[in-house]
Amino acid sequence: SINCASWNVRSLNNKVENVMNFLEDYNISIFFVTETWLTDQNNNTTARIKDRGYKVYHTNRNGKAGGGVGIIYKSSINLVKVFVNSETSFEAINAKLKLLMVHCLLFMRLSSSWTTWPLSV
């Protein structure tokens, strides 16, 4: 079975050990995380995730601090990146579970952008 969860962590950098313990304790296969606050693809935080048997696929908030969305998933899962989008009104990443042909979309509206709804993805 594949167990999924999500969490608005408000900085993965200072909570990575708590997050990884949660994933292991509850056998979470795919974890959707908002407000990652990560600034680049490879850093100490992503290295610690990889050391625990997971991979991470994320996007940063362009031009501002904070924000960012990501998917943390077990290394044994074949997750294919579809797209990353970081607009002024939303942040999103999309991935596909290759074996099941299931798409995983994480979408976070930015609070200052409610006037731009609806949005087609």
Please state the pTM of the whole predicted model.
Answer: 0.80
Nearest partner of 99 among 78, 116, 118, 85, judged by Cα? 78
pLDDT tens, residue by residue, 91-118: 878 788 877 666 666 666 666 544 444 4
Question: What is the Cα–Cα distance from 28 to 114, expressed in whole angstroms?
Answer: 32
Burial class (CB in 10 A: 0-12, 13-18, 19+), 17: exposed
pLDDT tens, residue by residue, 18-68: 999 999 999 999 999 999 998 876 689 999 999 999 999 888 777 777 888
